[in-house]
Amino acid sequence: MSARRPYIRPMARWYLRDPFFIEYMAHEGTAVFVWLFALELLAGLVCLALGEAAWNGFLAWLDWLPAQIANGLVLLMLLYHGITWFLILPRTIPPVRIGHARLPGWVLSAAGMMAMIAASAVLATGAWLLARGGL
Amino acid sequence: MKPQTKTVAVLRYRPEQDKEPFWQDYEVPFAEDTSVLAALNYIKDELDGTLSFRWSCRQAICGSCGLMIGGKPRLACKTFLRDFEGKVTVEALAHFPIERDLVVVMDDFIAKLERVKPWLMPREERAPEDGEYRQTPQEMSLYEQFAGCINCGLCYAACPQVGLNPNFLGPGAIALLHRYNLDSRDGGSEERMKLISAELGVFNCTAVGYCSAVCPKIVDPANAVNVNKMNSARDYFFRFLPRPAPKGGCQ
């Protein structure tokens, strides 16, 4: 009779085992805040469609201090989500080559983050111009 | 002068007498260049001959001495006692069943490596007189990184999805599969892509990315897995479009 009795270790609370897993859970968890922000945007759109009173109600919500604090928190979480998303980008896309040279991962991450900052700046400038009534 | 010593805590498991693994401490003398593998050999030779572990080359190429050292998947020959404050913990590779002490059961891992058909499958066989299958340095550079895998299993110990679902094909086997699919001399991509797109293929991966972080040969298995998610999606959504001519040593 074989004395073999392979032991399988449990996986309970695996996400707390290594700082790498804790960070992974944190950056994946911030996706919930992306969803919350999308819900808020959707609510704004529905209010806009419902008419002036509903829209003013939505604006009042945005002016309410607790909502502003919550939106500030959402913004921080979105920033963390965006940065970590670009950090892992080189692992998830095919290698980028210029000629025969392969671009290092940090260049891809940096380019992605620059694009994110540029797109945010364009969007913020557009919103600011709209708010002050055009150019 | 008395040499410096360090406590090495080893997770022991002797199936014939232990119900479950337990930690055992050993005091090991060490110098600047004492690797964890050297420490284990010291324990085996001088302190406790019953300790079991695998090793061979001592130079990070045979892939035998993968262990959880300080809680992380590492090669014992490439990890040094000097880099640890206080006690060093040494445990069998995570997500593999423990056969005995630091020895794990690798049968399933080896079966996965075999399943991806890790050999060149030319689309048309050539007779020796037809000459070799030629390849340019540029064509080789596409897969070279993935050919560096030493089958040490660290990426499986780093992947929580392997731990949660042992049937997942896993990072190492997919990196090996990707290596052959990228090879201009190979014509077996279509056959291997069935494994990629299957239920136990790439879509089990949740992009933790730890597999690539721990890889001692900088293979980047996470990239192989995630690029193949795109390849699989491309094969599904664009299956009605004309495909480029298959590669495979027929030029």
| Separation between Cα atoms, residue B141 and residue A7, nearest integer Å | 41
pLDDT tens digits, B130-173 = 888 889 999 999 999 999 999 999 999 999 999 999 999 999 99
> Do B5-104 and B107-237 show the same overall fold?
no
pLDDT tens digits, B198-247 = 999 999 999 999 999 999 999 999 999 999 999 999 989 988 887 777 77
Q: Measure in Å the smallest separation between the Cα of B28 and chain A Cα atoms.
A: 26
Q: Measure in Å the smallest separation between the Cα of A32 and chain B Cα atoms.
A: 16
The dihedrals phi and psi of B117, each to the nearest 5 degrees, come to 50, 65
Q: What is the mean pLDDT of chain B?
A: 94
pLDDT of residue A51: 96
pLDDT of residue A37: 96
pLDDT of residue B132: 86
Give the chain A residue whose CA is nearest to the CA of B210. A20
Q: Measure in Å the smallest separation between the Cα of B234 and chain A Cα atoms.
A: 13
Give the chain B residue whose CA is nearest to the CA of A15. B160
| Separation between Cα atoms, residue A111 and residue A79, nearest integer Å | 16
The contact set of A with B (CB < 8 A) is: 3-9, 11, 14-15, 17-18, 20-21, 24, 28, 88, 90-95, 100, 102
| Separation between Cα atoms, residue A15 and residue A24, nearest integer Å | 8
- Are residues A24 and B210, on separate chains, in Cβ contact within 8 Å? yes
Q: Enter the DSSP assignment of A100.
A: T
Q: Measure in Å the smallest separation between the Cα of B1 and chain A Cα atoms.
A: 38
- Are residues B206 and A3, on separate chains, in Cβ contact within 8 Å? no
pLDDT tens digits, B58-76 = 999 999 999 999 999 999 9
| Separation between Cα atoms, residue A25 and residue A20, nearest integer Å | 9
Whether B35 contacts B77, CB under 8 Å: yes
ipTM for the complex shown: 0.90
Mutation to test the A interface, candidates B23, B168, B179, B208, most A Cβ within 10 Å: B208
Bridge partners, A66 (sequence order): none
CATH topology of domain B107-237: Fumarate Reductase Iron-sulfur Protein; Chain B, domain 2 (1.10.1060)
Q: How many domains does chain A have?
A: 1
Structure-block tokens of residue A124: 């913020």
Domain map (residue ranges) of chain B: 5-104, 107-237
| Separation between Cα atoms, residue A63 and residue A110, nearest integer Å | 35
- Are residues B15 and A7, on separate chains, in Cβ contact within 8 Å? yes
Q: In CATH terms, is domain B5-104 a member of 3.10.20.30?
A: yes
Q: How many CA atoms lie within 13 A of B227 on its CB side?
A: 21
Nearest neighbour of B212 by CB, restricted to A3, A91, A94: A91
Q: Is residue A7, in this structure, part of any structural domain at all?
A: no
Q: Is residue A122, in this structure, part of any structural domain at all?
A: yes
Q: Which amino acid is at B152?
A: C
pLDDT of residue B251: 42
DSSP E strand boundaries for chain B: 5-12, 22-29, 66-69, 72-75, 88-91, 98-100, 103-104
- Are residues B213 and A20, on separate chains, in Cβ contact within 8 Å? yes
pLDDT of residue B242: 79
Report the CATH number at residue A104.
1.20.1300.10
Domain ranges, residue A24: 14-131
Q: A100 pLDDT band (50/70/90 cuts)?
A: confident
Structure-block tokens of residue B26: 């050993």
- Are residues B222 and A24, on separate chains, in Cβ contact within 8 Å? no
Q: Which residues of B touch A102 (CB under 8 A)?
A: 141
- Are residues B160 and A5, on separate chains, in Cβ contact within 8 Å? no
pLDDT tens digits, B25-62 = 999 999 999 999 999 999 999 999 999 999 999 999 99
pLDDT tens digits, B77-121 = 999 999 999 999 999 999 999 999 999 999 999 999 999 999 999
